[in-house]
């Protein structure tokens, strides 16, 4: 059976982006002119996902409104003859079947996934985190599905991370099977660099077998009172194999301010309608703030 369902945990408080997220969901912060969550949902849809469950919390109504039909907006765009923009808005509301369930308390990623168990049922499913924006020729999730189709077990997305940053991630201890595929032996949540079993960090993409729900139900809260997915995965590994896929693509940690800024700049530079003028602006900023010479773009003859 192909993987049809995905969970998008979106119940976090977004404290790293306060005050912007005081009344607006972090997931709706725009990278150029698209909210972060749209990039991730589009990745899922391009990977074959048809059924999406978004786990929300208080103050997340804007996410539901975004993926719903907006009759007033569509009527206004049609009246003004803005067909291209109208088609784009319709595509957002029609790209997948989207349902919502609320995580009443912020009890961690593992708990957010467990909350959606009844909507997923007994199928293998994907989990995508909106903080991680991955730009790749082949969608990251599609790369992982290819690994799942071969091994029929849970798959984690991993990326090599600098030693100074390794303590921010879950890290795998693994045996290499192929050029980009690993058999996971163990996982450690946010280890000190000296204790990290490798430099392969778990990034916000997962393919999970339904047995994870029983494991999460048995997972104890950590010191912060949260149920960590990594700890649930360690229980799952005792029952069945887990694999890791070192994906190809550029990943942006849009959950941090500097990562969000980098993603905004690079996505803008990839836009044909913005790149030219934006490059000229960046050159002027480099000259002003970095004391670099202004490089003149040769004029075409």
Asked if the model's pLDDT at residue 1 lies above 80, the reply is: no
What's the confidence (pLDDT) of residue 301? 38
Radius of gyration of the chain (CA): 21
Handedness of CA 275, 136, 28, 258 (dihedral sign): negative
pTM of the model: 0.90
Task: Give the other-Cβ count within 10 Å of 277's Cβ.
Answer: 10
Q: What is the mean pLDDT of residues 258-270?
A: 95
Asked if the model's pLDDT at residue 293 lies above 80, the reply is: no
DSSP string, 159-186: EE--GGGGGGSEEEEEEE-SSSEEEEEE
pLDDT tens string 28-43:
999 999 999 999 999 9
Specify the DSSP class assigned to residue 226. -
Omega before 19 cis (within 30°)? yes
From start to end of the chain, where are the E strands? 5-9, 30-31, 34-35, 51-56, 97-102, 125-128, 132-135, 154-160, 170-176, 181-189, 200-208, 242-246, 250-253
Question: What share of the chain has pLDDT > 70, as a percent?
Answer: 96
Q: What is the mean pLDDT of residues 160-175?
A: 92
Q: How far apart are CA 210 and CA 240, in angstroms?
A: 12
Q: How far apart are CA 131 and CA 238, in angstroms?
A: 29
Length of the chain, in residues: 301
Asked if the model's pLDDT at residue 171 lies above 80, the reply is: yes
Asked if the model's pLDDT at residue 295 lies above 60, the reply is: no
pLDDT tens string 204-247:
999 999 999 999 999 988 888 899 999 999 999 999 999 999 99
Q: How far apart are CA 249 and CA 246, in angstroms?
A: 10
Question: What share of the chain has pLDDT > 90, as a percent?
Answer: 74
DSSP string, 42-85: HHHHHTT--EEEEEE-TT-HHHHHHTS--HHHHHHHHHTT-HHH
Handedness of CA 22, 54, 138, 167 (dihedral sign): positive
CATH topology of domain 5-255: Spore Coat Polysaccharide Biosynthesis Protein SpsA; Chain A (3.90.550)
Residue with tokens 């997915």, as numbered in its chain: 229
**Would you say 185 and 244 are in contact if contact means Cβ atoms under 8 Å apart?**
no
What's the confidence (pLDDT) of residue 300? 43
pLDDT tens string 39-59:
999 999 999 999 999 999 888
What's the confidence (pLDDT) of residue 294? 58
**Would you say 117 and 93 are in contact if contact means Cβ atoms under 8 Å apart?**
no
Q: How far apart are CA 259 and CA 132, in angstroms?
A: 9
Residue 101's beta-bridge partner residues? 55
Q: Hey, where are the domains in the chain? A: 5-255, 256-292
What's the confidence (pLDDT) of residue 236? 96
Q: What is the mean pLDDT of residues 100-119?
A: 92
């Amino acid at each position: 059976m192909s993987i049809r369902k995905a969970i998008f945990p979106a119940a976090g408080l977004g404290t790293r982006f306060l005050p912007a997220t005081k009344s607006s969901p972090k997931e709706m912060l725009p990278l150029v002119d698209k909210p972060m969550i749209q990039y991730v949902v589009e990745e899922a849809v391009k990977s074959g996902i048809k059924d999406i469950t978004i786990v929300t919390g208080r103050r997340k109504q804007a996410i539901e409104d975004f993926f719903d039909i907006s009759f007033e907006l569509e009527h206004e765009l049609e009246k003004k003859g803005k067909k291209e923009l109208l088609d784009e808005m319709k595509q957002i509301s029609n790209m997948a079947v989207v349902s919502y369930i609320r995580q009443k308390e912020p009890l961690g990623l593992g708990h957010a996934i467990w909350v959606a168990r009844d909507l997923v049922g007994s199928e293998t499913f994907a989990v995508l985190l909106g903080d991680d924006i991955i730009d790749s020729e082949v969608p990251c999730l599609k790369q992982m599905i290819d690994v799942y189709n071969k091994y029929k077990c849970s798959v984690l997305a991993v990326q090599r991370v600098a030693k100074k940053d390794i303590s921010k991630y879950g890290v795998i201890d693994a045996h290499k099977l192929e050029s980009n595929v690993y058999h996971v032996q163990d996982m450690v949540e946010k280890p000190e660099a000296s204790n990290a079993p490798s430099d392969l960090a778990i990034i916000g993409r997962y393919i999970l077998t339904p047995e994870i729900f029983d494991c999460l139900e048995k997972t104890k809260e950590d010191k912060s009172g949260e149920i960590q997915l990594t700890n649930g995965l360690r229980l799952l590994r005792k029952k069945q194999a887990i694999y890791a896929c070192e994906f190809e693509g550029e990943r942006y940690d849009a959950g941090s301010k500097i990562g969000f800024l980098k993603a905004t700049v690079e996505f803008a530079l990839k836009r044909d309608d913005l790149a030219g003028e934006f490059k000229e602006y960046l050159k002027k900023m480099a000259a002003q703030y970095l004391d670099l010479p202004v490089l003149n773009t040769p004029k075409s003859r």
